[in-house]
Amino acid sequence: MSKFFKALAVLLAASLCAGAAWAEEKGESKPEQKVAARVDGVDITEEEVAAFINSLGGQQAQQMKLFYNDPQGRKIILDQIISMKLYALEGEKVLKLDQTEDFKHALNDVKTRMLAQAAMQELVKDVKITDEDVQKFYDAHPEHFTQPEHVHARHILISDDAKAQETLAKIQEDLKAGKDFGEIAKEISICPSAPRGGDLGEFGRGQMVKEFEDAAFALKNPGDISQPVKTRFGWHIIKLESHTPESKVELNAQVKAQVKQQLEAEKVQAMLHAHSEELKKQFKVEIID
């Protein structure tokens, strides 16, 4: 067997262990279902195999569907499912593990979880968020859909030492003479941004020390260069790359989908909490210290 299919077998075995609750003895299959294998007289249908593969979820399920269409992949998947069925038969009919207290407790725990999940799904199955709901939320909460003002800037940082003023004057002279701001930053800036030509990227208010922020946001036009600004880090000369004013995020398809998902989750959570409180009145609940 190739390394690829060996890895697949290991992955599938782990998935079967993790998803053992998927397996259930159905007795006899429906007439219209195609039988993929048979263990001790009990059919394993293609529908059961598909249900198992789908239970893996996401990308893993998609990969398994492709593997199952390959003859060798199909054999590996069926072998793993058959192995699970065989171990289940041994546990029940030979070892009588289903009669142990540990097994009964585990089975009861699984039953409780599945029933709770099914009841929750039944409660919220009709929850829907309409486009009108999304629009109302969008209109009522503009603060959630505001892109804050931000700037894109570079800077040259030097130490606040005895030669600081001399160095600043030389920088300003070089800039007036047309020397590239980024090249000067690479040569003399002591900031970690120096290798990038002093590029700090985009930032909003509250992300930089106040003196630096005030100077950066005071620049209005791309290419504007500030006067020297002193902070606790030293002296800065700032160049504005771009200045983007505050703007409102449009309610496009992507934003609408995100809002709908959020509202649905909130509505489901609220329904589950409220119904849980009602159930406490219907069934006796005691908390023992």
Residue 121 pLDDT: 95
Q: Does residue 260 fall inside a structural domain? A: yes
The rounded mean pLDDT for the chain is 89
Average pLDDT value for residue range 146-153: 95
Q: Same structural domain for residues 125 and 254?
A: yes
Mean pLDDT to the nearest integer, 255-279? 97
Same-domain check for residues 212 and 173 = yes
Domain termination residue (choose one: 67, 99, 131): 99
Domain residue limits at 274: 111-145+248-278
Asked if residue 283 belongs to a domain, the reply is no
What is the per-residue burial (b if ≥16 Cβ within 10 Å, else e) of 93-117?
Answer: eeeeeeeeeeeeeeeeeeeeeeeee
pLDDT classification of 69: cutoffs 50, 70, 90? confident
pTM over 0.85: no
pLDDT, residue 289, reads 82
Structural domains counted in the chain? 3
- State the Cα–Cα distance between residues 191 and 58, nearest whole angstrom: 44
Is the pLDDT confidence value at 199 over 60?
Answer: yes
Residues 136 and 218 occupy one common structural domain: no
In this prediction, residue 63 carries a pLDDT of: 85
Same domain, 233 and 157: yes
Task: Say whether both 156 and 237 belong to one domain.
Answer: yes
pLDDT of residue 25: 43
